[in-house]
Amino acid sequence: MTMTTPAPASSSFPANVALATFVSYLFYPLLLGITLSLYFGALAYGWNLATVFAWMAGLRILLLLAVEFLHPAKAEWKMTWASFRRDLKYMAVNGGVTALLKLGAGWLALDMSRLNTGIVANTSILMEFLAVLLVFEFFQYWYHRLSHESPGRWGAWLWKVHVAHHLPDKVYLLMHPVGHPLNLVISLALVQLPLVVLGARPESIFLFNALMGLQGLVSHFNVDIKAGPLNYLLVGTELHRYHHSANVDEAKNYGVLTPFWDLVFGTFEYHPKRLPIALGVKEPAQYPASNELGKVLALPFSR
């Protein structure tokens, strides 16, 4: 009887599975670690905080785009040419300008903070950062929540200002600029006002803006990120994706950097073992399509 040599057993943990596991469980903590490392490196070596901030923001979005293209959480949520053309419309109206305003405001705040003598000026860096974070998130949380839940004419107007960001039925990195300019201006003011009023130092402002930039990107990331306990500290992919759910019962998570006030006020939604069934608004036929830019921009001024 002829004996044959058995074929070598295939690896029980193939390379593609290892890569997918890395992307899901380690990629986001690695990004967070790099952000914090740059912060402490800038403090230790006296790097220019504004320059580090700008380089970090640019390189980070390129890396995230590459990972999202290669490892989407849902293929149907991937960016298409049609959705990209729509995104370009919003970028042309407010995306690029707002990005520059945010970058410029963060840069200016870093420079002007040396003159600040505000409420937290004589506290530790950690206490200063936490104060800025929680004060900002408190006002941002209630503005965001009232935009979704407030009744009456005032609530209806806030929703018309905010709804543009919820009209897309897919969430991915470059759809982040989809929104009404009024909503973006209000959000920008809410970001920077606590930094000025509280009198935060450059080190706190750098860390605040660096984390805001990271969380703002990963919150719309079409990648199956599993952040685990970090979801109770920072708002990322798993939490904000449910904020975009078409099911209003689970479309909560109004925080943008930390879920602290969602946990306090009972609007925290976290389902680690599943993705939302559908994204967007509950009754899309009641609204203009997200690519109808003129009609979307006119919503706050319509009856």
Neighbours of 58 (CB within 10 A): 10
30-55: average pLDDT:
91
Whole-model pTM: value is 0.84
**pLDDT at 195 exceeding the cut of 90:** no
Mean pLDDT of the chain: 86
Are the CB atoms for 254 and 165 separated by under 8 Å? no
Q: Please tell me the distance from the alpha carbon of residue 303 to that of residue 106, in angstroms, as a whole number.
A: 36
Q: Which of 235-240's residues contact partners 24+ apart within 8 Å by CB, and which partners?
A: 235/259, 236/28, 237/28, 237/73, 238/270, 238/271, 238/272, 239/268, 239/269, 239/270, 240/171
Query: CA 241, CA 283: separation in Å to the nearest integer?
Result: 18
Closest CA to 103 of 57, 136, 37: 57
Tens of pLDDT along 265-287?
999 999 998 999 999 999 999 99
Contact 137, 260 (CB under 8 A): yes
Residue 59: exposure state from Cβ atoms within 10 A (0-12, 13-18, ≥19): exposed
Please state, in angstroms and rounded to a whole number, the distance separating the CA atoms of residues 137 and 191: 9
Domain residue limits, the chain: 23-301
pLDDT band (50, 70, 90) for residue 12: very low
119: which residues sit within 8 A by CB, 6+ positions away? 131, 197, 198, 199
Query: Does pLDDT of 206 surpass 70?
Result: yes
Alpha-carbon gap, residue 107 to 53, rounded angstroms = 8
Q: What is the rounded average pLDDT of the residues 90-118? A: 62
* Predicted pLDDT of residue 279: 96
Burial class (CB in 10 A: 0-12, 13-18, 19+), 52: middle
